Amino acid sequence: MRHGFANLQSPTHSLAEWHLKERTHMDWDNLRYFLELARSGTLMSAARRLAVDHTTVARRIQALEKEVGAPLFSRESGGHRLTEAGRRLQPQVEAMESAFQAVESTAPASQEGLSGLVRIGATEGFGTMVLAPQLALFAVQHPKLTIDLLAMPRLVHLSRREADIVISLERPARGPVVVTKLTDYTLRLYASKQYLAAHKPIKTREDLRGHTFISYVDDLLFSKELQYLDELHRPDAFALRSTSVLAQHRAVVAGAGIAVLPAFIAEHDSALRPVLAGQANFTRTFWMSMPAETKHLVRMQTVWDFLRQTAQAHQALLLLPQNAGKPEEKDRKDGAAPRPPRPSISRKQAL
């Protein structure tokens, strides 16, 4: 195989031409492993995507490098970087992948039912509280389809192929991806009933002074969209800071302080009450994206559409009705006088 590498290096020769001229046979599985490592950058990430051990990925890459007669990656402390030969090989392998996927999507077997793997990356709260129950039911209806849900308090990278579909707080800025606005959602200040009973009343934003807050760890924020308190109030003290919104929710339920929480997590928790409802509402947006090269796959199209339908079906919880949570509705239970609502705070308005 080494004698064919000179042609691989030349930009005037395609991988297909090289195969025909040299009459060689290359293992497609090795090329598939090459593509995953090229995209993810580390053996561990590629192994997770391929559902194998990282040593298998390393062995496959070594076999492919032996076939082409030259190194395709340089090993560095942070992972694997493509060599010049690897960079020339990648677009041609991607073309082979696209052709294979097109055949796969039109094959008769693909019409018999969904099958294969779809990995979805989402924010921790939305993935856990909204998507997980619905995706579980969806998977039961399609027993040959495997759904991986990465509900994590960090950004799931589409460019690194950590997931097939990513739901994020920020719209992807660039790259060959399909992007759609999935939904807006509402956040509010919440506190437990026992916290509110034990502390001075909160009727205006100025009354927030002296209260204890629960929030994110500033230097570990994975999105600027999570900087809610900068738009409302600079807390004097924090009882707890956490990278997990679910941990923040449990701390608020325990009576440790006040926090900005998504309404889809906190609104129907009987232990909590909105604080300054109508005066301290926030609006954020979930964006959904996937690689353009996989949009024609039936399983991807179906899961994509299902996620959109799920978001639409939960609009009443994601975006609270105009009059939901008015002070007179909840504060009257605690003997407070009605107060007129103020406009909610959107990111654009705040900035």
> Tokens representing 25?
């046979």
Per-residue pLDDT of the chain (351 residues; tens, 9 = 90+): 333 333 344 443 444 444 434 445 677 788 989 988 988 888 988 888 787 888 999 999 999 999 888 999 998 887 899 999 998 898 888 788 777 766 665 655 444 578 888 999 999 999 999 999 999 999 999 999 999 999 987 877 776 778 899 999 988 877 788 999 999 999 999 999 999 999 999 998 889 888 999 998 887 877 787 777 777 777 777 899 999 999 999 999 999 999 999 999 999 999 999 999 888 888 999 999 998 888 888 999 999 999 999 999 999 999 986 545 444 344 433 433 334 333 344 443 333
Burial class (CB in 10 A: 0-12, 13-18, 19+), 226: buried
Give CA–CA dist 252/259, Å, rounded: 7
How do beta strands 281-291 and 177-192 pair?
antiparallel
How is domain 110-182+286-313 classified at the CATH fold level?
D-Maltodextrin-Binding Protein; domain 2 (3.40.190)
Please indicate whether the domains covering 110-182+286-313 and 184-284+316-350 agree at the CATH topology level.
yes
Give CA–CA dist 56/161, Å, rounded: 18
Q: How many CA atoms lie within 13 A of 229 on its CB side?
A: 22
- Whether residue 137 contacts residue 180, with contact meaning beta carbons closer than 8 Å, is answered with no
Longest dimension (CA), the chain: 86
Give CA–CA dist 33/314, Å, rounded: 39
CA 260, 268, 203: angle at the middle one, nearest 5? 50
Over residues 73-123, the pLDDT tens digits come to: 998 887 899 999 998 898 888 788 777 766 665 655 444 578 888 999 999
Is 184-284+316-350 in CATH node 3.40.190.10? Answer: yes
Burial 125-159 (b: 16+ CB within 10 A, else e): bbbbbbbeebbeebbeebeebebebbbbbeebbbe
Domain ranges of the chain: 2-104, 110-182+286-313, 184-284+316-350
> Tokens representing 94?
């991607």
Length of the chain: 351
How is domain 2-104 classified at the CATH fold level?
Arc Repressor Mutant, subunit A (1.10.10)
